[in-house]
């Protein structure tokens, strides 16, 4: 299932708020619609929103096609700032926008039509590179997965969260392609149930055995010896190896440490932010209270109750067994080894 594709100068985004009940590709004809889709989680997952934002820049460029070159560049840069402001935690979003704006700057004195063509080619590259990096990540990561393993994952880090194949779920898919028999346990992932709605659905589409559990069952599941390893994705990884991921990941990591279970993070290099020293510097998005107080339009909490709704938490590097990237598996010391990996040619 594609999270997005480009057709007839439109970005077609799979509306993940409707899954698993309905498969619908929302056409986005300008960057404002892309930004709305990112903000409202129609498209979500760090690599996916990065790719979507790249196409959002293309849409901004196409709409500015009749402007002077100075005005054209001004409009596209403004669109970039607008897109980057939609979600602050996932670094892939800013990375993709900055890469697109950098290509525009390097293109120099090209006319509007040629600039738009160059930007579209770059967006396609970002999309294709993500799919290929996920597959390479999967090949490295599957070597860490024993045959007949029980794997716990949190939130959704599959094809839906990327341009294709997936990060954490990509490792699981690669293990299956290698002939290993695995079973997956998917945390439901409150408050928006990405594990229940998306991960369970993805695994069932691929005929990979999956069992859905509520978030507060993970510790007991581990105590019963049913979990051999945990694999999650990431929205940002700092220089020291601290990991920001969907809220609840930190709790899973603590439980894995207590039960002696390896805790792996699968993420592309574009998710690694060497400019931040540690997880305390990561901006954590806080979302609307009605995501917690209601579900499916039905109020499930007392009216007026105070709500705290951070979308992400930070898992300290000391709880992370290894980080799986498209260039290989990184183990501690992360401060040294992540930097070394990032600058490899």
Query: Binding site, residues?
Result: 44-46, 87, 194, 245-246
Instruction: Judge whether 313 counts as a catalytic residue.
Output: no
**Catalytic one of 235, 242, 273, 313:** 235
Give the span between the Cα atoms of 153 and 341, in whole angstroms.
25
Known binding-site residue numbers for substrate: 44-46, 87, 194, 245-246
Give the span between the Cα atoms of 58 and 44, in whole angstroms.
19
Q: Are residues 320 and 263 in contact, defined by beta-carbon separation less than 8 angstroms?
A: yes
| Residue 26 CB contacts under 8 Å (≥ 6 apart), including other chains | 12, 13, 14, 15, 33, 37, 42
DSSP-derived letter for residue 125 is H
What stretches of the chain adopt beta strand conformation (E)? 4-7, 10-14, 25-28, 150-153, 183-187, 210-213, 229-232, 236-238, 243-246, 263-266, 272-273, 294-295, 298-299, 312-315, 322-325, 328-330
> On the CB side of 279, how many CA atoms lie within 13 Å of its CA?
18
Residues forming the active site: 235
């Amino acid at each position: 299932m594609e999270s997005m594709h480009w057709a007839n100068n439109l970005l077609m985004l799979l509306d993940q708020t409707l899954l698993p009940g309905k498969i619908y590709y929302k056409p986005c004809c300008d960057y404002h619609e892309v930004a709305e889709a990112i903000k409202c989680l129609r498209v979500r997952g760090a690599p996916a929103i990065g790719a979507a934002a790249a196409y959002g820049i293309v849409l901004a460029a196409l709409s500015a096609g009749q402007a002077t070159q100075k005005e054209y560049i001004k409009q596209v840069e403004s669109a970039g700032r607008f897109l980057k402001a939609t979600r602050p935690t996932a670094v892939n979003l800013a990375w993709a926008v900055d890469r697109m704006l950098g290509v525009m700057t390097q293109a120099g004195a090209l006319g509007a039509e040629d600039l738009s063509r160059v930007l579209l080619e770059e967006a396609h590259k970002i999309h294709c590179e993500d799919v290929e990096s996920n597959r390479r990540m999967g090949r490295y990561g599957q070597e860490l997965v024993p045959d007949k393993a029980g794997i716990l994952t949190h939130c959704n880090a599959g094809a839906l969260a990327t341009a294709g194949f997936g990060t954490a779920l990509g490792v699981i898919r690669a293990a299956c392609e290698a002939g290993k028999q695995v079973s997956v346990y998917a945390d439901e992932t409150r408050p928006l149930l990405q594990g229940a709605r998306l991960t369970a659905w993805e695994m069932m589409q691929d005929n990979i055995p999956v069992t859905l559990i509520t978030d507060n069952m993970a510790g007991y599941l581990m105590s019963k010896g049913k979990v051999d390893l945990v694999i999650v994705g990431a929205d940002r990884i700092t220089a020291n190896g601290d990991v920001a991921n969907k809220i609840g990941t930190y709790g899973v990591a603590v439980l894995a440490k207590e039960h002696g279970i390896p805790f792996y993070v699968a993420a592309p290099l574009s998710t690694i932010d060497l400019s931040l020293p540690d997880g305390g510097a990561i901006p954590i998005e806080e979302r609307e209270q009605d995501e917690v107080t209601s579900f499916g339009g039905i109020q499930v909490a007392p009216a007026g109750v105070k709500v705290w709704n951070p979308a992400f938490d930070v898992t300290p590097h000391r709880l992370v067994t290894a980080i799986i990237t498209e260039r290989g598996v990184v183990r501690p010391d992360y401060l040294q080894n992540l930097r070394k990996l990032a600058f490899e040619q």
